[in-house]
Every structure is written in C-alpha cells, then in structure tokens.
Structure 1
Amino acid sequence: MIKQQEHQFVELLETHQNIVHKICRLYTHDESSHKDLFQEITVQLWKAFPKFRGDAKFSTWMYRVALNTAITLYRKRKRSITTSDIDQINFKIASEVYDDTVEENLKLMYSAIKELNDIDKALVFLYLEDKNYKEISETLGITEVNARVKMNRVKTKLKRILNP
C-alpha cells in the first residue's frame, strides 16, 4: 500500500513539477534557495499527500500546498538578517550585444510582482498560469468574486509599480 502510494506521489510530482519550479522562481533569488525551497515543498507535499482526497484536481491541491509552504518560509526568512560573502558576488560583463527587450520586460514584471504581498503574488502567479477564477478561488480559499476583484486591484498596483 505504501509503495503504491509512494509510486503514485512520485508520478504526480514528476508530471506537475513545473508548478513547484515556478513558485520557487517567484519566491527565491538564487539557485541554492530555489533548490532548498523545491525540496521543502516536496517534503510538505509528501507529508500532506495521505490527506489528498481528490476533491480538487491534484495540480490545484499542489498549488495550494506549494504556495503555503513558500509563503511560510518567505515570512520566516524575512525576519532574519541576510548576509553575503564577497566571494559569492559575481560581476557580469556582457560580451555580446543582443536585443534582450523581452527578457528585460520579464525581469521588470517579476521584480514588480515581488513587491506585492504574499497573497497578491500567489494570485498573479495563478493568473499567469492561465488558471480560471474558479481554480484560483479554490487554490487560495477565497470566493470567485473576491478573486476577480483582487486581480483587478493587483493589475492596478502592478501598473503603478511599472509606470510610476
């Protein structure tokens, strides 16, 4: 029974791991933190897996657990002091000239999203994942109407952040 459950979990995680990677990308700033958060989310998903009843799609449930884990860890880290070792800082010098407009726009958008509060970040993430408002509301535990209203407010906030 446990082997079957383990196999099912691994299969579902492999199928939907991009969800976790995207959340990690939103809540971390470097590869090491990304790996740590991915591992922590995986552990939390495994711990919670026996409670997954299948009432919602696995991906919706996975979003909820992953976002809650990321937000909890983000809040814990926010309280601690961050330091950097001077040897860890890399100075990058561009050797080629290329049009990086799309990449720059994405960086600006992610930078603006990182300025939002935790719930708004999660809302934007799910919206960018093409989740409908019903799925967003189920994942975040709010009403569908509330999800729509919040999304409109978040869009206004992002516009203000990007175009001061």
Structure 2
Amino acid sequence: MSTDQEKEFVEQLEANQNIVHKICRLYTDNQDAHNDLFQEVTIQLWKAYPKFRGDSKFSTWMYRVALNTAITLYRKSKRRVQTQRYETVEFKIEDTTEDDETMEQLTLLYGAVKQLNDIEKALVFLYLEDKNYREIAETLGISEVNARVKMNRIKTKLTNIINP
C-alpha cells in the first residue's frame, strides 16, 4: 500500500470511527472486549482497503466489513479471540462518550438489542444510523422489502423486550 493510500485510509477511519465503536458496543459486554473487537475490525479494514474500489461510499463498505468481522467473532465467542498487533501503524482514535442521561438510554437500548440475533442486531444498528432501506439491504445482502419487513418485526420485538 502506498503512503498516499495509508494516509487516505487513516483519514477515512478517523472520520468514520464512530461506526466501528457503535458496532463494538453492540457486540461486546466490556471495555476490553470492545478494544479487542475495535482492533480486529481495524485490522480487517486495513487488510481489505487495497481492494476497496469505491463502488459504494466508504462508510457503507466500512459497515459491511465491521459487521461481518463482529458477527464472525461473536459466533466464535466460545473460544478466545486471537488478535494481532500492528506496532508499525498507530491510529489516534478515541471512543467519544455521551452525557449520563443519553448513556442510560443507550445502555437500555443496547441491552435490548443484545437479545436479538446477529442479523437483527446489524439491521437495528444500520437503522439507528439513519441508513435508508436500500443502503441497509445493500450492506446486509438482503432485499429492500426483506429489510423493511424484518425491521417492522424487530421494532415489535424490541418494544416487548423493553416494555414487557
């Protein structure tokens, strides 16, 4: 990868880092697991970046890579996830925190979402990121109609989880 590509990758990652942090919060239960998953997603993005053709927005591509990595590692969670360290590349990326009330609401929402299956979690995440159904369908590899139907069912399911 050229120096220009490296610089472009770091800029894109820094600009879109909240995508990865939100996915990490969705698929992990503690800060150490969050950090490990963030690192693994970053590594997978780094490895895949030379193949990024720009057919879609960087953020859409990033969602797909991050969600696929998170789902793969989540499914293997019964085993310890082995992560790799890249000492030669440093990323100055920090998780931003919200105020107490927002964090309380997010905790409640994340708790409910964690009770959903992998695809449902991904769909909710993309929906909360204000992605339209076409973008959701493209990212998850399902039809737009299927994305709409699933989202309506998930809304009902979440309502029942939060307000039993």
TM-score band w.r.t. shorter chain: 0.7 to 0.9
**Residues 57-87 of structure 1: CA deviation (Å, up to 9, x unaligned):** 000000000000011111111x248xxxxxx
The alignment's TM-score, normalised by the length of structure 1, stands at 0.83
The residue that corresponds to 1:39 in the other structure is: 39
The size of the alignment, in residue pairs, is 145
Distance change (3 Å), C-alpha of 1:32 and 1:145: same
Larger radius of gyration: 1
CA distance in 1, matches of 2:101, 2:28: 23
Counterparts of 2:51 and 2:6, CA distance in 1: 14
1:14 to 2:14 alignment: yes
The structure richer in helix per residue is 1
Aligned to 1:52: 52
What SS class does the counterpart of residue 14 from structure 2 fall into? helix
- Structure ranking higher on relative contact order (CA contacts 8 Å, 6+ apart): 2
Pairs within 5 Å for 1:69-148: 69-77=69-77, 79-80=78-79, 103-148=103-148
- 1:49 is paired with a residue whose SS is helix
SS at match of 2:130: coil
| 2:156 equivalent to 1:156 | yes
Paired with 1:101 and 1:10, the residues of 2 have a C-alpha distance of 32
Return the letter of the residue paired with 2:42: T
Percent identity for Structure 1 against Structure 2: 73
Q: Distance in 2 between matches of 1:110 and 1:140?
A: 20
User: Structure 2 length as normaliser, TM-score?
Assistant: 0.83
Q: Distance in 2 between matches of 1:27 and 1:76?
A: 12
Unaligned runs of 5+ in 1: 82-99
What is the rounded CA distance, in whole Å, between the counterparts of 1:154 and 1:21 in structure 2? 22
Query: What is the CA distance between 1:107 and its match in structure 2?
Result: 2.0
